Chain A
Amino acid sequence: MTTATAVEQAEMRVAMTRKEAIGRVLGLLLLGLVFVWLVANLLASPTQFFNSLLFGIGNGALYALIALGYTLVYGIIELINFAHGDLFMLSTVFSGFMMVYWLGADSPSAQNWGFMLLTLVAAMAFGAIVNVVIERVAYRRLRRAPKLAALITAVGMSFILQWVGLRWNGSAPRLWPTVVPEGGIEFGEVTLRYTTILVVAFTIPVLLLLTYVVQRTKQGRAMRATAQDQDAARLMGINVDRTIAFTFALGGAMAGAAGLLYLEAVGTTRYDAGFQLGLIAFTAAVLGGIGNLAGAVLGGLLIGIIQGLNDGAPFGFGQQWSQTVVFSILILVMVFRPTGILGQPTVEKV
Chain B
Amino acid sequence: MADPVTDAATPAGPPAADLTHRRDRRWAIGFILVMLGMWVFYKFALTSTPDVVQEQIQKWLPLTAVNEAIVWVICAIGLNIVVGYAGLLDLGFVAFWAIGGYVAGWFMSWFIGQYNQSVHVLSAAPSTSTGFHINWWIVLIIAGAICALFGILIGAPTLRLKSDYLAIVTLGFGEIIPQVFVNGEDINGFNLSNGTKGITPLDPITALPFGPAFLSRPLGPFDLATKFLLFGIVVAFCVFVSLRIREGRLGRAWLAIREDELAASMMGVPLMRSKLYAYAVGAFMGGLGGVVFAIHVNGVFADRFNFSISIILLAMVVLGGMGNVWGVIVGALALAWINSTFLPQMGETINSSLGTEINFPSYNFLLFGSILVLMMLFRREGLFPETRTRQLIQEPERTQLEDLHADLEGVEK
Residues of A within 8 A of B (CB): 1, 4-5, 8, 78-80, 138, 141-142, 144-153, 155-163, 166-167, 171, 231, 275, 279, 282-283, 286, 320-321, 323-324, 327-328, 330-331, 334-335, 338, 348, 350
Between-chain CB contacts (< 8 Å), 22 pairs: A1-B262, A80-B168, A144-B412, A146-B393, A149-B380, A151-B164, A156-B370, A156-B372, A157-B369, A160-B365, A160-B370, A163-B362, A163-B366, A167-B362, A323-B175, A324-B176, A324-B180, A330-B168, A331-B158, A331-B173, A348-B162, A350-B409
Neighbouring B residues of A158 by C-beta, 8 Å: 369
Neighbouring A residues of B176 by C-beta, 8 Å: 323-324, 327-328
Residues of B within 8 A of A (CB): 83, 87, 89, 91, 154, 157-158, 161-165, 167-169, 171-173, 175-176, 179-180, 182-183, 262, 265-266, 307, 311, 314-315, 318, 362-363, 365-366, 368-373, 376-377, 380, 393, 395, 408-410, 412-413
Q: How far is the CA of A338 from the CA of B168 in the complex (A)?
A: 12
Instruction: Tally inter-chain residue pairs, CB-CB below 8 A.
Output: 140
Residue of A nearest to B408 (CB): A231
Partner of A323, one of B179, B266, B365: B179
Neighbouring B residues of A150 by C-beta, 8 Å: 376
Q: How far is the CA of A144 from the CA of B175 in the complex (A)?
A: 31
Residue of B nearest to A150 (CB): B376
Q: Is the CB of B179 within 8 A of A160?
A: no
Neighbouring A residues of B363 by C-beta, 8 Å: 163
Q: Is the CB of B372 within 8 A of A152?
A: yes
Q: Is the CB of B89 within 8 A of A151?
A: yes
Q: How far is the CA of A140 from the CA of B404 in the complex (A)?
A: 25
Q: Is the CB of B162 within 8 A of A1?
A: no
Q: How far is the CB of B20 from chain A (nearest CB, A)?
A: 29
Neighbouring B residues of A275 by C-beta, 8 Å: 307
Q: How far is the CB of B393 from chain A (nearest CB, A)?
A: 7
Q: Is the CB of B172 within 8 A of A156?
A: no
Q: How far is the CB of A344 from chain B (nearest CB, A)?
A: 15
Partner of A1, one of B158, B175, B314, B410: B410
Residue of B nearest to A138 (CB): B373
Partner of B393, one of A149, A320, A327, A348: A149
Q: How far is the CB of A220 from chain B (nearest CB, A)?
A: 24
Q: How far is the CB of B306 from chain A (nearest CB, A)?
A: 9
Q: How far is the CA of A293 from the CA of B413 in the complex (A)?
A: 26
Residue of A nearest to B83 (CB): A148
